[in-house]
Amino acid sequence: MRDHGIPAIGIVGTGGYLPAEVVSNEAVAERCGTTPEWIVRKTGIRQRRRAAPHEATSDLAIRAARSALDSCGLAPDDLGYVVVATSTPDHSQPATAGLVQHRIGATRAGAFDTNAACSGFVVALVSVARLLALEPPGAPRYGMVIGADTYSRVVDPSDRRTAALFGDGAGAVVLGPVRPGRGLVGARMSSRGELGDLIRVEAGGSRLPASPSTVADGRHFFRMQGRAVRDFVLDELPAFVRDVLGAHGVAPRDVEHFIPHQANGVMLQEVLMKLNLPRARTHLTVGEHGNTGSASVPLALDDARRGGTFTDGDLLLLTGFGGGMTFGAALVRWEGGTC
């Protein structure tokens, strides 16, 4: 990007929000006929959060957005874009991002949603960074990217394969100008649409509108072929990451922080053994948050930033993977002192 005179765009603020209600493994196990020990053994998850009845995805996103703005001292009017990555929007229309844009008072911002399932945040981050880099003089210089999901509204509480995994939450970053040599270094996305049936919500769209029969049959619930998803990720993600690094002239040993989608703690340990990132510190929040979908990468990023683990010039690798099937990766050189 910067070889062509396009300005450097990077992360200048982070924020997050987790609902107040903590859902224990004991509570999940009781509803889906398993044990807390089974959940930990299969997922590494000890607890997750659940949105209150009055909280929708936009409510979580708003809290995360305000947190991110506070972290970098910017005002809503500084934003040129508000983008929400989600697969559990408030409505099919209007876009959840438009609701967030209005509620936070970002009066100069364009707003839209992205849905690449659990890769969505990474895809949205790269998209907004490139949009900002092309803005003319005088336009707003910053953009808000939020990953937010409320999977508690679409997961079948009696299905242990999914009820044990998912939680609700939102994470956000503010993107803006950074020094040359910092910010977004490179990115890539990959899709395997022929595997779309591995993760799905069948009813509620134009193919199969919601009806009494679809609700009675549970076809509005999230369904996942867990074993097939695990095999796909373990087989394909390491090669995808190697290709991304190689395409941008980055050696595996140069990555200092790895922030993956927090899908399943046990699976992530298997992924790490195959990735061979010898110097990278891997940031995992899945044990306490569960799988929060599009929110998982920015929540882990915010947790690491608040813990003071990044220093100026550190190279971060962000990866998402999920339904579609999709992969997304972004290489970001950290700008110290921005948040």
Is residue 261 part of the annotated active site? The answer reads yes
- Supply angle C-alpha 90, 93, 99, rounded to 5: 55
Q: Which of 25, 115, 257, 261 is catalytic?
A: 261
CA distance 138 to 123: 26
Q: Is 118 known to be catalytic?
A: yes
Q: Which one from 25, 72, 115, 118 is the annotated catalytic residue?
A: 118
How far apart CA 33 and CA 135 sit, in angstroms, is 54
Give 128's contacts (C-beta < 8 A, 6+ positions apart).
81, 83, 143, 144, 145, 175
Active site residue 32: no
Among residues 25, 115, 264, 291, the one annotated as catalytic is 291
Catalytic residues: 118, 261, 291
